[in-house]
Amino acid sequence: MRLNLRQIEVFRAIMQTGSISRAAGLLNVSQPAVSRLLSYTEQRLGLKLFERIKGRLYPTPEAKRLFVEVNLVYQGVQRVNEVAEDLIEHRMGHLRLACVPSLGQGLLPHAIARFLAKYPDVRVSLFTMRPHVLINALLTQQADLALVFLTDPHPSIEATQIYGNRLVAALPANHPLTARNVVSLEDLAAEKFIGYSHDTQIGQFMRQLFADAGLTIRPAVEVQQVDIACAMVQTGIGVALIDEITPLAPVWTRVVVRPVENAVDTPVNLLRATFEPMSRIGQAFIDVLQDMKKDWSSLRSPTF
């Protein structure tokens, strides 16, 4: 390599100031150090860069041509520094989030709105996926962070609980059980019930929940997602067990939720790949999620 960055810096300073002494002052080094480096640079290049005429330095045509390219290098370095500053201040970047569909209608819109209010220049992509697809998206670096509940542990995925997220009863707006302050699993098992298919984690969880209570349910309809269960409830088909975050979405205007006796949590977990370092904007989004916990009561359903 004929020129290193220090040689380029000294050459540029001399071209800008027109003298070795002023270049030394600009770089905050001694004048002899600049002279020695200039001499070494000319020797390495095999080019005469400056002529001394009556005590003044004059750049040769070769130096003027080289200066054009040197300025391009400095513009590139300046751009690198600007990008670094933008990343530090969260003025640019791309945050890729994944979640199960129900969280994409309630929790995530709240969180993303707060995040973009603080960092309006960051681009956010949100992917809604079933849990097993979501895990693969993290492992293949298609997503930076993911939000789920009822996820199975994975050796390469780190899970952190963000919210407690209790199970609640979802009822059609005109259903008799809406007159109750609290409903039981027995109440729900006696109704036309909307359940979840056997091949889903929530379906397996719900069946075990009823079995532990000594109850058997025979769903009138089975779905795979909590938000679809809400849609079924809204049409009056029956009742369902859902998590308390899902009905935060404004689309469920004819769904009434009630606490369930001895309710259990289906915690919302934040997932990330353990082998991937956390980006600054990723950590900033996590901070927003944590801040939302402080005023979680303002987001939860008014029936609570």
Amino acid 86: pLDDT:
64
Q: At what angle do helices 5-17 and 61-88 cross, to 10 degrees?
A: 110
The topology (CATH level 3) of 167-259 is: D-Maltodextrin-Binding Protein; domain 2 (3.40.190)
Domain boundaries, the chain: 5-88, 97-163+268-298, 167-259
Per-residue pLDDT of the chain (304 residues; tens, 9 = 90+): 577 888 888 998 998 888 899 989 988 999 999 999 999 988 888 889 998 888 788 899 998 998 888 888 887 887 777 677 766 766 668 899 999 888 888 789 889 999 999 989 888 999 998 888 888 889 988 899 999 987 777 889 999 998 888 889 999 999 999 999 999 999 999 999 999 998 888 888 888 899 999 998 889 999 988 989 999 999 999 999 998 888 877 788 899 999 999 878 888 999 999 988 888 889 999 999 988 877 655 555 444 3
Supply the pTM of this predicted model.
0.67
C-alpha–C-alpha distance, residues 5 and 18, integer Å: 20
pLDDT at residue 295, as a whole number: 64
pLDDT for residue 186: 93
Distance set, CA 88 to CA 3, 122, 280, 287, 288 (Å): 31, 12, 7, 15, 17
pLDDT score at 173: 92
Residue 110, number of CB atoms within 10 A of its CB: 17
Instruction: State whether the Cα torsion 247-248-249-252 is positive or negative.
Output: positive
Contact indicator for 168, 277 with CB cutoff of 8 Å: no
Is the domain spanning 97-163+268-298 CATH 3.40.190.10? The answer is yes
Domain spanning 5-88, CATH class = mainly alpha
Residues 6+ apart with CB under 8 A from 230: 102, 170, 240, 242, 246, 247, 249, 252, 255
Residue type, 71: N
Residues in the chain: 304
Fold match between domain 5-88 and domain 97-163+268-298: no
Specify the pLDDT at position 296: 59
Contact between residue 157 and residue 272 where contact means Cβ atoms under 8 Å apart: yes
